Amino acid sequence: MNATMKPMELIFADRLTPGQLMLNDLIGVEDQVVEVIGIADSNAGDDYHVEFIDEFGEKDIVNLKHDDLISLYVYVDDDE
């Protein structure tokens, strides 16, 4: 059985608020697409701390207000 890799394209899908994010989402942060690995809201409920892994495999955190809009990206199959 031959194993082949299908080409996948990363495309913009939607804009979400921090409260709509889920683990493993791919989001736009500082001109790069990163993977969400943690989400926590502050005790006051006015901002979120989103932990992510950047393209170099390094962990970082971005602070977002509850009404900020974040770009969500998804991979799509190039063959379709």
Domains of the chain, each with CATH number or no CATH: 8-77 (2.30.30.30)
> Taking the chain, what is the end-to-end CA distance rounded to the nearest angstrom?
23
Q: Give the whole-angstrom CA distance, residue 66 versus residue 42.
A: 10
- The tens-digit pLDDT sequence of the chain (80 residues) is 566 667 789 999 999 999 999 999 999 998 999 999 999 988 777 899 999 998 889 999 999 999 999 999 999 986 65
Q: What is the pTM of this model?
A: 0.83
